[in-house]
Amino acid sequence: MKPSIIRTLAAIIMTATVAFAEEAPQDAGSIVKILLTATESGNYSDFQQPGDAAFQAGITKEMFSKVSKQLAPVLKGGYDLSFLTSLTQQGFNVYLWKITPKTIKDQFIVKLVLKDGKASGFWIQ
Tens digit of each residue's pLDDT, the chain (125 residues):
555 554 544 445 444 444 456 788 899 999 999 999 999 999 999 999 999 999 999 999 999 999 999 999 999 999 999 999 999 999 999 999 999 999 999 999 999 999 999 999 999 99
CATH class, range 23-124: alpha beta
Q: What is the pLDDT of residue 2?
A: 57
Alpha-carbon dihedral sign for residues 120, 122, 114, 51: positive
Number of residues that this document lists for the chain: 125
Task: Read off the amino acid at residue 81.
Answer: L
- Three-point CA angle 95, 100, 68, nearest 5°: 75
pLDDT at 15: 44
The pLDDT assigned to 19 comes to 44
Measured between alpha carbons, how far is 83 from 13 in angstroms, rounded to an integer? 21
Parse the chain into domains and list their residue ranges: 23-124
